[in-house]
Amino acid sequence: MKRFIDLAEHTPEAVAELLELAGRLDRHPEPRALAGKVLGMLFFNPSLRTVASFQAAMGRLGGSSFVITPGTGTWKLETRNGVVMDGDAAEHIREAVPVLASYADVLGIRAFAGGIDLAADLEERKFMEMASVCPTPLVNLESAVNHPCQALADWKTMDDLGVPANGGRFVLSWANHPLHLPLAVPAAAVHMAAMRGMDVTVLRPEGYALPEPIMQRARAAAAASGGSLRETDDREEAMQGAHVIYAKSWSSTTHYGRPAEDRALRKKLEHWMVSERWFANAAAESIFMHCLPVRRNVVVADEVLDGPRSRVLPQARNRMTVQMAILHRLLAGGAQ
């Protein structure tokens, strides 16, 4: 394995091997596996789980990490090409990325969507620009429309809980939120569930349909795995027999890059908060997932998050376990 930037670059068999390795490293620690190895992480956006779980994963395998957050203890980085750099930014990513990569055995980069130009974000222009100047194994710590580490953790969480793959019903539901958030997690989740062979429903209000390229990728993954994909704004229909409801807020796609209009739209959508009522016609042991951070009583009611359906804590812990596997595979000379 040379990099981990998109789950779609890996076969289902490779994913299964990673998940098996994750479980093994969790049960049988290897505190010497990555001795002397270094993970560098470059965060253009805030992080809690990612920065903590990657450092923990590296530490558990005996390696070490450094974390760079431009603007916090370091200067701003320029991302545009060809500009005269007489403004705020003291350094260009064309230097910063390969330099940091040269100190590390693997580099992780988090770079959220610009949130203005949907086409640019769907093409992952910013992330791929940095990937193109990174000679070292690269991990995507969340890009404009992808979050493969989260997707892999989600996959493992469902495996751990015995959620059916083929035949399993996975509902990705839009949820209310005061801010217009990126498409990375919904795009990664819908693709992951489709790749896992599940029957996937995207439940969202008008104006929040996932962009067609994202749906298209997921449809292709479903076709290959024996899963299916549909979208609807009818909650009752969506939740019928659901094994998993995966809640997440994201930007309006009809009003992408226009926050004021997006805000006006979601004024009428405050009832898109997951509550116990949503599960009325779901499968008996239906579970609640969310990638966190989650706003209580906006995205989801306390009763769900504090109740027996919630699996957000093991889901978050699996970030660390799958990342141990990713790092081990990238650095300890594993197969593939």
Nearest-approach distance from CB 34 to its own copies, in angstroms: 9
Task: For residue 276, state whether it binds its own copies (rule: CB under 8 A).
Answer: no
Which of 14, 23, 24, 59 is the binder for its own copies (CB under 8 A)?
59
Task: For residue 11, state whether it binds its own copies (rule: CB under 8 A).
Answer: no
* Cα angle for residues 199, 297, 230 (degrees, 5° grid): 15
Q: According to CB under 8 A, which residues from 77 to 96 bind its own copies?
A: 78, 82-87, 89-92, 94-96
Task: For residue 162, state whether it binds its own copies (rule: CB under 8 A).
Answer: no
Q: Which stretch binds its own copies (CB under 8 A): 97-105, 243-251, 281-289, 328-336?
A: 97-105
Which of 63, 137, 148, 186 is the binder for its own copies (CB under 8 A)?
63
Nearest-approach distance from CB 137 to its own copies, in angstroms: 15
Q: Which stretch binds its own copies (CB under 8 A): 13-21, 149-157, 235-243, 314-322?
A: 314-322
Sign of CA dihedral 78, 293, 157, 248: negative
Neighbour tally for 52: CB within 10 Å: 13
Task: For residue 332, state whether it binds its own copies (rule: CB under 8 A).
Answer: no
Contact (Cβ atoms closer than 8 angstroms) between residue 177 and residue 221: no
Residue 291 exposed, middle or buried by CB count within 10 Å (0-12, 13-18, 19+): buried
Contact (Cβ atoms closer than 8 angstroms) between residue 50 and residue 141: yes
Q: How far apart are CA 220 and CA 194, in angstroms?
A: 8
Task: For residue 233, state whether it binds its own copies (rule: CB under 8 A).
Answer: no
Q: Supply 265's token pair.
A: 């739209």
Q: Which stretch binds its own copies (CB under 8 A): 15-23, 221-229, 237-245, 306-314?
A: 306-314
Is residue 106 within a helix (H) or strand (E), and if so which, with residue range? Answer: strand 106-110
Nearest-approach distance from CB 35 to its own copies, in angstroms: 4
Which of 9, 103, 264, 277 is the binder for its own copies (CB under 8 A)?
103
Which of 232, 254, 297, 336 is the binder for its own copies (CB under 8 A)?
297
Nearest-approach distance from CB 147 to its own copies, in angstroms: 16
Task: For residue 264, state whether it binds its own copies (rule: CB under 8 A).
Answer: no
Q: How far apart are CA 180 and CA 122, in angstroms?
A: 16
Nearest-approach distance from CB 90 to its own copies, in angstroms: 4
Q: Which of 150, 332, 289, 13 is nearest to 139 (CA)?
A: 150
Q: How far apart are CA 215 and CA 187, in angstroms?
A: 8
- Of residues 73 and 333, the one with the C-beta less far from its own copies: 73
**Residues whose CB falls within 8 Å of the CB of residue 270, separated by 6 or more in sequence, listed in order:** 176
* Cα angle for residues 121, 125, 127 (degrees, 5° grid): 100
Q: According to CB under 8 A, which residues from 170 to 229 bind its own copies?
A: 178
- Of residues 91 and 233, the one with the C-beta less far from its own copies: 91
Q: Supply 260's token pair.
A: 């004021």
Task: For residue 55, state whether it binds its own copies (rule: CB under 8 A).
Answer: yes
* Cα angle for residues 36, 38, 40 (degrees, 5° grid): 170
Q: Supply 19's token pair.
A: 């998940």
Binding-site size for its own copies (CB under 8 A) equals 71
Task: For residue 65, state whether it binds its own copies (rule: CB under 8 A).
Answer: yes
Q: Which of 221, 208, 196 is nearest to 247 (CA)?
A: 208
Q: Which stretch binds its own copies (CB under 8 A): 8-16, 54-62, 189-197, 243-251?
A: 54-62
Task: For residue 111, state whether it binds its own copies (rule: CB under 8 A).
Answer: no
Q: Which stretch binds its own copies (CB under 8 A): 9-17, 67-75, 158-166, 194-202?
A: 67-75
Tell me the three state secondary structure of residue 92.
Answer: strand
